[in-house]
Structure 1
Amino acid sequence: MSTLKITKKHHRHLNNPFPSTPTSLPFIQGNLFINSQTLPPNQNSPLGKDFQLLWSTQNGGYLSISHLSHPSKSLWSTIPGQAFISAAMAETEVEESRGSFAIKDRDVHLVCDHQSIENIILINQFDDFQLDYLDLDHLKTNSKFADSPVLIITGHIFSKRTKKWLQSSSIYRSASARYWVLFDQKENNQIGFKVKIGQPKFQLHHHPKASPSTSLGRYRRLRRKLRRQRKWKLGWCWFLTRTKGLSINSSSEEELGESNVVETALEFNRVCLTYASERNERFFGFGEQFSHMDFKGKRVPIFVQEQGIGRGDQPITFAANLVSYRAGGDWSTTYAPSPFYMTSKMRSLYLEEYNYSVFDLTQHDRVQLQIHGNGMQGRILHGNSPLEIIEHFTEAIGRPPELPEWVISGAVVGMQGGTETVRRVWDKLRTYKVPISAFWLQDWVGQRETFIGSQLWWNWEVDVTRYPGWQQLVKDLSKHYIKVMTYCNPCLALMDEKPNKRRNLFEEAKELDILVKDDHGEPYMVPNTAFDVGMLDLTHPLTANWFKQILQEMVDDGVRGWMADFGEGLPVDAVLYSGEDPIAAHNRYPELWAQINREFVEEWKSHCTGKEREDPQEDLVFFMRAGFRDSPKWGMLFWEGDQMVLSN
């Protein structure tokens, strides 16, 4: 039973122009059960130095977090009597086509939708707590709040009703797993939360009518299926990784027949966190979005990909989908999503990891976060206004730098055509006294003809045939305080057919072994419009310095800005140097790409001398297309993506 199926749609010439919405887990709801032997009826516990958590058994039990400056205002709360932690085991299907992705939940094999709370533990001194039970070392390193109380909630999630496991009436299952929820203060206005789910334990019930040999054979088939489940990495609770394989412990016969407990080395690959919302609460954020401001009532997927051509507007979306699978996109597709929101009630939350996630806001009284993984980590923010919340958010993730004056002092003229075309347009603009900041020359690398038209040579060096006298052109523009901006991306095309190349960057990267690989260990050739490209493995330790040298050669010619394009197309079955899960790495990739470019900008400035160091008019600028949560820390500017522009 494979948990991941990938379908490639790159080379289909005719496609369904009305693709269906990807299927996903339904909204999971269950009951909350309280252990009255171990839990007090009401408890108000400090969270760090600035927050508190209220536990109450009223109406079935609920939790509420507030800031001490506004103790009556709930920043996050669960729904009385309702489970707030749930998990599932499901299969994933990803349909992929040239940077467009559709992620689907296929067969759901197990859902634990009910929850018990058995302990609420307040930890004040780590030395008095068993650190081999939970990995709390990261709390000790946070010196600002190292002596602040940390709260841990433990219990079980379980499937209350037995369900068929196999296509047979003789074997049924129920399941349970232990969970841990940790809350700790990160900043003065931020509470961190972490959810971890243990391995499931199955209760198998055999009907008396089934023969022992039949039941044993079915169990063995079940065990083989379970063993083929994809293994997700653990590391939060020490004993979660201890069990290997399967073991069966016999129990007494019940009315339904023989019952066995099966302990497995499986993990859940869907984790849900459910909490309260208000009917009139409006939700804003989620990164770069184009179709909506308020997302209440919608399911918002968080996955970097092409934004789409048309995004539902007809007939352009129909045409785009027809010739390239899902190329039209929809309201949710975006180059730069972010797992962050704030609401009209001044509540805010964001996720810290990179797994595929869905924010389900379809219910009027609750929110459900669905994560593809076996855990969840994020932060809850406090702020009294949208500005305060954004300030607190960017304090944690980082902020872009102040831009140099030159990039906003006039028009950035984006054009193509070669040296003489640029000079001719420049002369015409001077006639009309148009203030110009820069010429952005995307085709500085040269162009080739393909079956869809003229396209760039993805080999990041100047094409002296298209731009003869390149350095003189840059100098002439610089004398009039006009910068030259260029273009690059983390992909490299085959250069066998280019006649005037000085370097073959694809072959250089292949020789250095810094290209993303396929499952055969060969460079992964990623389809892109009319040609395939190799993609830089940004997790490889040699990649960053190698590409920075390419940027250095570009800047040495006088270039002062560029577009750092792409970053959204890492295949979800790629093999990376880091060995990390490529679906999570897919969302991290544009951040790594921005980081390389930003580091080069800072390093170049630190090594400058004389006028280049002192004059802010010489500062470098780059802009991105793709991004994720932490991209503001590394990016300087963001491009809004391909737009449809009508002109007469």
Structure 2
Amino acid sequence: MKAPWQSLYPVTYPQYTIACNGWALKRLLRLLTEPLKKLSRWKLISLGNISTSVPSQSFQLGEFTIDWQGSDTKQPCLKIVHQSNQAKVIWQTSPGQSFISGGDVSLTITEERGSIEIDEQKQAEFSDQIVDAIKQEGDTLLIHGRLQNRQNTSDEPQYVLTLRTIGLKELDFQLQIGDGNVNETQLQFITSPDEHFYGFGEQFSQIDCKGQWIPIICEEGGIGRGDRGPKTLNLLGVAGNRFSSYAPIPYFVTNKGRSIFLNNTEPSIFNLRDPQIATIRVSSSCMQGRILCGETPLDIIELYTNHVGRMSPLPDWLNNGAVVGMQGGTQLVRQVWSQLRELDTPIAGFWSQDWVGQRRTIAGKQLWWNWQLDETVYPGWQQLVSDLAQAKIAVGVYVNPFLVDRPHKSNLQQRNLYTEALQQGFVVKKNQGEPYLIESTDFSAALLDLTNPDARKWFKNVLKEEVLGKGAKFWMADFAEAAPFEGIYASDESGLLYHNQYPVDWVSLNREAIQEAGKEGDAWFFNRAGFLKTPSHSTCMWLGDQNTTWGKNDGIVSAVKGAIAGGFSGLSINHSDIGGYTSIANPILEAIGVGFRRSRELLYRWMELNAFTPVFRTHEGNQPDKNVQFYTDKDTLATFSYWAKVYAALAGYRQQLMAEAAKKGYPMLRHLILHYPDDPNVYQLEEQFLLGSEFLVAPVLKPGKKKVNVYFPAGEWVHLWSGKTYSMTIGIRQKVPAPLGQPAVFYRQGSQAAESVVETLKVKNLLNTP
């Protein structure tokens, strides 16, 4: 292990204020000015010039060559290559232009129901760069210099860029600017119009992010995110935008085999709008990260996950059947279970998210956030758990880090966790010491302070006693993207530094509870919020709340994109709610085209999709009685049972992929560039994927469609349902049939793993051949 970075200068951060929210007029004004703000944001710190007295020279850091073109050239620049392939540039600055700059900025942060907006106001920029000295100390290179403000040339903050080898193919960097007035750092480097950028955590609208401006700030995904919907969602601040993400990560990999990630938890911005120059900006006077060198994107993912951690295989029992999302109490669960038994449906678990009881809110039905069983909803719970266990079916529940003051019910013997947490100081506070209450829909809740070791211990005991102790083997570990920026934390950390870290601490708490209970490898949870080191702790990702639509930004299409994009960033085991979650099933809104609810066709197409993903799990959604459910009638039950059987038939293959994920960090759902990095036709594919390396899946993502335009990479691909072989010497697009019940799924000719799956499907009579 290398020693931690030494700070040569005190670290400074932007001052920020929290904007008042809730006023429709203010929100409307912000919406009207948003296009202008977007235009100015990405040019907040402009590119400057570079000058130097340091002559050209090269330095060897381990396997890396750092080439400096200096004072004896007209256009100074820095270039990094690796000995494994000296023709390939790993990182290069733009000749004659500054590659380091800084700014004095202030921030206005708006937080509304988990949605975040950060507006930057520039007081000064230091865009011109002087390189004064470059020196090598062992495996470390230090570049010293000054920055200049064109408006005030007497003010020249000093900087130092430090490069240090980590292993054979990793190069750490730290950029520090040593002036108390500079609180934002920016790093610039060359790109090209044909370079494609992937990663950035879960991105739901765009997989290839070239040409985009990517903010890295954990937040609520939003409702619609640009898809058609009620305009009031914008006024309420919950619509989100195309780059709102529960799990953004400051990391990318490109088709050119280049990769960088940041260790900063402060908000950052990756600006890829300029076709020639890319910039990384961080809300701090210190930027820390790592440059990775690999021959292929899979090589880079393996290097990257060495640092951020890798996800462990799911429990074997989970891999053998569906997770049935149910609400409504014991009697309804038993009724649906009986119907599924008649169809011989493989069931891994029943997920009863309403185990704590429900309340009515403006969003529909929501749970009481007091994490204990409500036996008025689930009478005979222990008998139900026992009966399901006898059938080798697990029981799951729902938990999040919020707490509410639930009114006492005389027929329930329950603790009031909200009161317990407040009395012991276990929640995030305001300046005055009272709890920081965060607005949800039409109620507010306190948030567990995860920087408090005693609070962590207390809540882990809640999970061990009230969840695992009541027989549940799994749960949804929801939320975690709403840690307030102006909250007071036990660690005294600023919300600016801690907001993005909170989701990592949340999943680590859940994982520790499982480990301390001796349930590692048997119990599991699935979470939606994440950041850099989430893969170290998460047992399974879930893609959050998609709309019950065909929408590109927040419907079934976004679920496909989110899973593929997250796979680049170490989120290797991921899945979505079958059918989506959010509905706005208001007849008037639906009549004017902005309301929506789940259709039968959408539900069936989502089942087809998720049968070829890591987890096959349903969700009733926020308005269960307004949507088609898997148990609506005999046809929905039969269709669900069929796809659950198809999912179960792939169990052995998924186990192989999970072993790869644990060993190398490879995603289970893969963008085609991971196996065809030299095929430029795959670079911008966004609506088809590989399951591992052996199955090609092109789901139907539009209503009424019975054919799909599939891109086949070179090779021989066998249509799963008909057995027809598509033989390609070069990659080609072709329309293929995809009627309801037969999605466009292909396997690699000659693949033993795929043929084993096909044989299982045949034995179980699951291939609907014409």
**Cα-to-partner distance string for 1:11-46 (whole Å, 9 max, x where unaligned):** 7599539562555251521000011xxx23x21111
Q: Which amino acid aligns with 1:418?
A: G
Correspondent of 1:272 among 167, 175, 186:
186
Q: Which amino acid aligns with 1:567?
A: A
> How far is 1:581 from its partner?
1.4
Name the structure 1 match of 2:524.
Answer: 621
Q: Are residues 277 and 451 of structure 1, via their aligned partners in 2, closer, same or farther at CA, if it must alter by over 3 Å? A: closer
Name the structure 1 match of 2:621.
Answer: none
Question: What SS does the aligned partner of 1:179 have?
Answer: strand
**TM-score with structure 2 length normalisation?**
0.67
Q: Which amino acid aligns with 2:515?
A: E
Name the structure 1 match of 2:304.
Answer: 393
Cα distance in 1 for residues equivalent to 2:226 and 2:362 = 26
Q: Which amino acid aligns with 1:88?
A: G
**Cα-to-partner distance string for 1:60-87 (whole Å, 9 max, x where unaligned):** 2111111121123211111111111101
> How far is 1:497 from its partner?
4.8
Name the structure 2 match of 1:33.
Answer: 51
User: Are the aligned partners of 2:98 and 2:129 in contact in 1 as well (CA < 8 Å)?
Assistant: yes
Name the structure 2 match of 1:339.
Answer: 250
Correspondent of 1:45 among 59, 66, 69:
59
Cα distance in 1 for residues equivalent to 2:431 and 2:22 = 18
Task: List runs of 5+ in structure 1 lacking aligned partners.
Answer: 125-148, 163-172, 200-265
> How far is 1:56 from its partner?
1.4
Which deviates the most, 573-582 or 11-20?
11-20
Q: Are residues 285 and 597 of structure 1, via their aligned partners in 2, closer, same or farther at CA, if it must alter by over 3 Å? A: same
Correspondent of 2:349 among 438, 458, 473:
438
User: Are the aligned partners of 1:409 and 1:436 in contact in 2 as well (CA < 8 Å)?
Assistant: yes
Correspondent of 1:116 among 114, 119, 130:
130
Q: Are residues 626 and 370 of structure 1, via their aligned partners in 2, closer, same or farther at CA, if it must alter by over 3 Å? A: same
Are 2:104 and 1:104 aligned?
no
Are 2:336 and 1:425 aligned?
yes
Q: Are residues 11 and 419 of structure 1, via their aligned partners in 2, closer, same or farther at CA, if it must alter by over 3 Å? A: farther
Cα distance in 1 for residues equivalent to 2:217 and 2:116 = 8
Q: Which amino acid aligns with 1:532?
A: S
User: Are the aligned partners of 1:157 and 1:176 in contact in 2 as well (CA < 8 Å)?
Assistant: yes
Name the structure 2 match of 1:647.
Answer: 599
Name the structure 1 match of 2:616.
Answer: none
Correspondent of 2:213 among 299, 305, 317:
299
Cα distance in 2 for residues equivalent to 1:643 and 1:415 = 18
Are 2:164 and 1:184 aligned?
yes
> How far is 1:109 from its partner?
1.3
**Cα-to-partner distance string for 1:302-325 (whole Å, 9 max, x where unaligned):** 000011111101134x24224x22
Correspondent of 2:69 among 47, 52, 56:
56
User: Are the aligned partners of 2:475 and 2:525 in contact in 1 as well (CA < 8 Å)?
Assistant: yes
Please show how residues 238-387 of structure 1 align to structure 2 within 5 Å.
266-316=180-230, 318-322=231-235, 324-325=236-237, 327-387=238-298
> How far is 1:407 from its partner?
1.4
Q: Which amino acid aligns with 1:198?
A: G
Question: What SS does the aligned partner of 2:85 have?
Answer: coil
Cα distance in 1 for residues equivalent to 2:181 and 2:539 = 40
Name the structure 1 match of 2:463.
Answer: 551
> How far is 1:430 from its partner?
1.0
> How far is 1:440 from its partner?
0.7
User: Are the aligned partners of 1:525 and 1:534 in contact in 2 as well (CA < 8 Å)?
Assistant: yes
User: Are the aligned partners of 1:624 and 1:637 in contact in 2 as well (CA < 8 Å)?
Assistant: yes
> How far is 1:339 from its partner?
0.3
Please show how residues 199-214 of structure 1 align to structure 2 within 5 Å.
199=179
> How far is 1:293 from its partner?
1.4
**Cα-to-partner distance string for 1:480-522 (whole Å, 9 max, x where unaligned):** 0100011101110012355535101011111211110011111
Are 2:307 and 1:402 aligned?
no
Question: What SS does the aligned partner of 2:279 have?
Answer: strand
User: Are the aligned partners of 1:301 and 1:357 in contact in 2 as well (CA < 8 Å)?
Assistant: yes
Question: What SS does the aligned partner of 1:183 have?
Answer: strand
Cα distance in 1 for residues equivalent to 2:382 and 2:514 = 21
Higher Rg of the two aligned structures: 1
Correspondent of 2:418 among 488, 506, 510:
506
User: Are the aligned partners of 2:42 and 2:271 in contact in 1 as well (CA < 8 Å)?
Assistant: no
Cα distance in 1 for residues equivalent to 2:429 and 2:26 = 29
Greater fraction strand: 1
Are 2:17 and 1:5 aligned?
yes
Question: What SS does the aligned partner of 2:421 have?
Answer: helix
User: Are the aligned partners of 2:42 and 2:213 in contact in 1 as well (CA < 8 Å)?
Assistant: no
Which deviates the most, 52-61 or 355-364?
52-61
Q: Which amino acid aligns with 1:401?
A: S
> How far is 1:378 from its partner?
0.2
Q: Which amino acid aligns with 1:529?
A: T
Are 2:541 and 1:638 aligned?
yes
Question: What SS does the aligned partner of 1:72 have?
Answer: strand
Cα distance in 2 for residues equivalent to 1:342 and 1:377 = 17
User: Are the aligned partners of 1:10 and 1:527 in contact in 2 as well (CA < 8 Å)?
Assistant: no
Name the structure 2 match of 1:562.
Answer: 475
Provide the alpha-carbon RMSD of the alignment: 1.8
Cα distance in 1 for residues equivalent to 2:200 and 2:535 = 14
Q: Which amino acid aligns with 2:307?
A: A
Cα distance in 2 for residues equivalent to 1:603 and 1:364 = 50
Are 2:175 and 1:195 aligned?
yes
Name the structure 2 match of 1:522.
Answer: 434
Q: Which amino acid aligns with 1:34?
A: T
Please show how residues 74-223 of structure 1 align to structure 2 within 5 Å.
74-106=89-121, 108-124=122-138, 149-162=139-152, 174-199=154-179
Cα distance in 1 for residues equivalent to 2:172 and 2:435 = 39
Are 2:512 and 1:599 aligned?
yes
Q: Are residues 395 and 118 of structure 1, via their aligned partners in 2, closer, same or farther at CA, if it must alter by over 3 Å? A: same
Cα distance in 2 for residues equivalent to 1:384 and 1:300 = 25
Cα distance in 2 for residues equivalent to 1:504 and 1:193 = 48
Cα distance in 2 for residues equivalent to 1:15 and 1:366 = 33
Q: Are residues 11 and 439 of structure 1, via their aligned partners in 2, closer, same or farther at CA, if it must alter by over 3 Å? A: farther
Q: Which amino acid aligns with 2:216?
A: I
Name the structure 1 match of 2:386.
Answer: 475
Cα distance in 2 for residues equivalent to 1:591 and 1:89 = 29
Q: Which amino acid aligns with 1:154?
A: H
**Cα-to-partner distance string for 1:538-585 (whole Å, 9 max, x where unaligned):** 001112211111111121222110011000011111111111110221
Task: List runs of 5+ in structure 2 lacking aligned partners.
Answer: 1-13, 549-597, 601-770
> How far is 1:526 from its partner?
1.0
Cα distance in 2 for residues equivalent to 1:552 and 1:112 = 53
Q: Are residues 498 and 72 of structure 1, via their aligned partners in 2, closer, same or farther at CA, if it must alter by over 3 Å? A: farther
Please show how residues 581-596 of structure 1 align to structure 2 within 5 Å.
581-596=494-509
Name the structure 2 match of 1:236.
Answer: none
Question: What SS does the aligned partner of 2:303 have?
Answer: helix
Q: Which amino acid aligns with 1:565?
A: D
Moved over 6 A (4+): none
> How far is 1:161 from its partner?
3.8
Cα distance in 2 for residues equivalent to 1:491 and 1:498 = 20
> How far is 1:603 from its partner?
2.4
Please show how residues 226-241 of structure 1 align to structure 2 within 5 Å.
none
User: Are the aligned partners of 1:516 and 1:523 in contact in 2 as well (CA < 8 Å)?
Assistant: yes
Q: Are residues 602 and 50 of structure 1, via their aligned partners in 2, closer, same or farther at CA, if it must alter by over 3 Å? A: farther
Q: Are residues 386 and 498 of structure 1, via their aligned partners in 2, closer, same or farther at CA, if it must alter by over 3 Å? A: farther
Matched residue pairs, number?
Answer: 528
Question: What SS does the aligned partner of 2:47 have?
Answer: coil
User: Are the aligned partners of 1:307 and 1:329 in contact in 2 as well (CA < 8 Å)?
Assistant: yes
Q: Are residues 11 and 623 of structure 1, via their aligned partners in 2, closer, same or farther at CA, if it must alter by over 3 Å? A: farther
Question: What SS does the aligned partner of 1:151 have?
Answer: strand
> How far is 1:454 from its partner?
2.7
Cα distance in 2 for residues equivalent to 1:105 and 1:544 = 34
Cα distance in 2 for residues equivalent to 1:427 and 1:602 = 34
Question: What SS does the aligned partner of 2:516 have?
Answer: helix
